């Protein structure tokens, strides 16, 4: 009976550890997704969102939000500004 008790305890501990790992995985992936969204914005890179035709510097693929009736905005970064 001693060996059976030990194996049941091991199964319970393993199940609890797996549950903790799953919860940590979801917490970390959610927070890293929020970080990635913030890190890829034009403002975070020191750029300015302007209409495509008004960009005098380097156009990048960082995200800019444009309103419905507004023309498409691009992230324009001055490479000399630092």
pTM of the predicted structure, to 2 decimals? 0.43
Output the six-digit token pair for 10: 């091991």
Break the chain into its structural domains and give their ranges.
1-39, 42-82
DSSP per residue over 14-43, as a string? HHHHHHHHHHHHHHHHHHHHHHHHHHTBTG
| 4-50 confidence digits (pLDDT tens) | 667 888 889 999 999 999 999 888 777 665 555 556 677 777 787 88
């Amino acid at each position: 009976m001693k060996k059976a008790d030990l194996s049941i305890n091991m199964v319970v501990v393993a199940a609890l550890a797996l549950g903790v790992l799953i919860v940590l995985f979801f917490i970390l992936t959610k927070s890293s997704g929020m970080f990635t969204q913030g890190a890829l914005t034009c403002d975070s890179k020191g750029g300015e969102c302007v209409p495509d035709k008004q960009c005098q510097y380097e156009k990048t693929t960082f995200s800019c939000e444009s309103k419905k009736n507004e023309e498409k905005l691009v992230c324009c970064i001055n490479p000399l500004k630092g």
